[in-house]
Amino acid sequence: MMMKSFVLYSKQRKNPHILKTDDNIPFARFVRVKQIKPQMGGNVWVGDPFRGISDVVILPDTVAENTDVRFCWKTHGLLMGKIEFSTEVTDPVKVRLSYKDANLNGIDESRIRIYKFDQNENRWKLVGGRVDRIRKRVVGWINAGSSYALATELN
């Protein structure tokens, strides 16, 4: 399966501080692959109630043809993962990434954002997002498959 992606960045920032979990939390890596039909859209979720649920929401007509979505999210160590699409997405895709297990000691929760790794520049770039403190997730929109992480800017 060949993965295609395109890049759209809103802003460039300094290197972010990627959130981490406590070392005593058991390792968990969640992976799910699901086919999305263009006219129906769909939701691809990973996680569990204890570590938090993260998901990718694809609205109808966001993809032009049947598209496999692969979503991998890690909940031990750095909070990061990868989202891949087998075809190009035509509109932004909603993501809700959990930080339920994050160690927030000294971190302002309201400043957590989604970052995307730019392989060409070998650095993380700000995507943005809005913090949902009740569900312990950051909600944002992406335009392409890539590696993503939850992070805050370094002061």
Rounded CA-CA distance 41/95 in Å is 14
Q: What percent of the chain has pLDDT over 90?
A: 61
Residue ranges of domains in the chain, CATH in brackets: 16-153 (2.60.220.30)
- Cα dihedral sign, 148-128-8-6: positive
pTM of this structure: 0.81
User: Per-residue pLDDT for 22 more than 60?
Assistant: no
Q: What pLDDT, in 10s, does the model give residues 69-83? A: 999 988 666 788 999
